[in-house]
Structure 1
Amino acid sequence: MPVDGTTTFRAAMASDADAIADLLTASWQESYAALLPAELLQRQLPGLHRAMWRTHFGAPRPGVVLLAEAADGLRGFCATWLDGGEAYVDYLHLRPGLRGGGLGRLLLGRAVAAVMAQGATHAALTIIEGNDGALRFYERLGGLAGAAYDAVLHGVPTRYRRIAWPDAGTMVSAC
């Protein structure tokens, strides 16, 4: 269904795996250049992301991978999994250069609403600590940020922060 006359939304299929992986890699390279090692972003991620998305579509998790497309190709995607009663937003990424126009908010709201229809009542996601733009974006949508914690991402020690919505409907309404 068109949003602005040019963007349409649809559920992803296995044939979309490489396009999703390529967009994800480009988004990470732009968003995390100051937060993650260049070796990981430039050399390792393209192959890791392609393998990950091909594997996902071989045995999909419960939830939705929602795409935003236009004549110029894939503009963004949101992958949200149903984990018990939680809509866990694993990925929300836009093609570089498309932030700030409302597309991310539309994708997020539609994906979480789809997972709510599958039974989710609350929502959450995790961001890399230092991704201040993402933190502000999610807080504007009513997300409650937890304390930062340490973990490992593709062999790289990384700090994360969980953001939660006790009522997923609150997030959807804010989107």
Structure 2
Amino acid sequence: MIQYQIRTAIRSDFPAIAQLQANSWRHAYRNHLPASYLAERVDADVSDIWSRYKIKPQDVVLVARETGTQSLLGFVSVWCRPNAFIDNLHCDPAKTSNGIGTALMQMVFNRLRDQGHHRAWLSVLVGNSGAVRFYTRLGARPGMVRREDLCGFPVEAQIMQWEHLPLSE
């Protein structure tokens, strides 16, 4: 079992967050985005996005770092402007199924409740059945499907929502 700690992200975490997100996209979105994009541009695009983010006090960005090595195992980002939108949850593809994503989500739910939020939502690419199963296990309910833009590529995404944020186990 991997030992890790979860903490609030700081700006110096952003390059590692961008790298992990790009690696995760190459794995999770290989059937949704062009192979040439994932091979040639995803690193630069995601790095650029994270370099420009302006995190507001009400937003929640958490990282999971491996104890001892401090390597980044996962992160979650939630924009509360004003509603809680979970924009990203990514874990190192080589270290999934260790409870990291669940622990990050439970901490997010706690932080959101502490801020007075009772609901949250996110979108999952249609066809990403593993993500749908994961969020459903955490209490999300599937909603409508809509067209979204992912770094210039049109994709179909399903809304997943929590009408009542779950309590931590």
Matches within 5 A, 1:104-115: 104-115=101-112
Name the structure 1 match of 2:87: 90
SS at 2:94's partner residue? coil
The separation in 2 between residues aligned to 1:87 and 1:116, in whole angstroms, is: 10
Which residue among 98, 117, 120 is the counterpart of 1:101? Answer: 98
Name the structure 1 match of 2:75: 77
The separation in 2 between residues aligned to 1:49 and 1:78, in whole angstroms, is: 15
Gaps in structure 1 of 5+ consecutive residues? none
Matches within 5 A, 1:20-99: 20-56=17-53, 59-61=54-56, 62-70=58-66, 71-72=68-69, 73-84=71-82, 86-99=83-96
Q: TM-score, normalised by structure 2?
A: 0.91
Contact 2:120 2:162 in 1 (8 A): yes
The separation in 2 between residues aligned to 1:89 and 1:48, in whole angstroms, is: 19
Query: Which amino acid in the other structure matches residue 64 of structure 2?
Result: A
SS at 2:42's partner residue? helix
Name the structure 2 match of 1:129: 126
The separation in 2 between residues aligned to 1:9 and 1:115, in whole angstroms, is: 16
- The answer to which of 108-117 and 157-166 deviates more is 108-117
CA shift, 1:141, in A, is 1.4
Gaps in structure 2 of 5+ consecutive residues? none
Contact 1:80 1:115 in 2 (8 A): no
Contact 2:2 2:98 in 1 (8 A): no
Q: TM-score, normalised by structure 1?
A: 0.88
4+ runs deviating over 2 angstroms: none
Count residues with an aligned counterpart.
166
Q: Percent identity?
A: 31
Query: Which amino acid in the other structure matches residue 146 of structure 2?
Result: Y
The separation in 1 between residues aligned to 2:148 and 2:12, in whole angstroms, is: 32
CA shift, 1:88, in A, is 1.5
Tell me: CA distance 1:117–1:30, structure 2 relative to 1, closer, same or farther (3 Å). Answer: same
Deviation by residue 1:98-147 (Cα, 9 ceiling, x = unmatched): 22221100001102311221221111111111101000111111111012
